[in-house]
Amino acid sequence: MRTGRPKATLKLNEDEKRELTSLAHRSRSAPARRARIVLVCAEGHDNHTVARKLRVTPRTVGKWRNRFLQDRLEGLYDEPRPGAPRTITDE
């Protein structure tokens, strides 16, 4: 059995679980995939198992596990990107 650094336990409260489940059932959006990663991590699986199950890399799982642990639900959404703001309007 492989050992490595122990992963921080990811526990969800009922509101978080409900919100993540709702988010995970959306189409193929990035936040939906991130929600699925967090939900499987919360079942107690390690990053490699979650990665195999969801067909992503262990590094991706680790990134979103850590972001969720640090920022909870807000951590699953994209951060503002650097650069100049949009100059073309939707009109």
Assigned domain for 85 exists: no
Assigned domain for 1 exists: no
pTM beyond cutoff 0.85: no
Cβ neighbors of 23 (< 8 A, separation 6 or more) are 31, 32, 35, 76
pLDDT of residue 31: 92
- Structure token pair of residue 5: 């650094």
How confident is the model over 7-47, as pLDDT tens digits? 677 899 999 999 999 999 987 789 999 999 999 999 999 99
Does residue 81 surpass a pLDDT of 90? no
Q: Which domain holds residue 45?
A: 20-76
Can you tell me whether residue 48 is helix, strand or coil? Answer: helix
Total of domains in the chain: 1
Q: What angle do CA 15, 18, 19 make, to 5 degrees?
A: 85
Assigned domain for 15 exists: no
Assigned domain for 72 exists: yes
Is residue 27 a contact partner of residue 18, using CB atoms and an 8 Å limit?
no
How confident is the model over 51-71, as pLDDT tens digits? 999 999 999 999 999 999 999
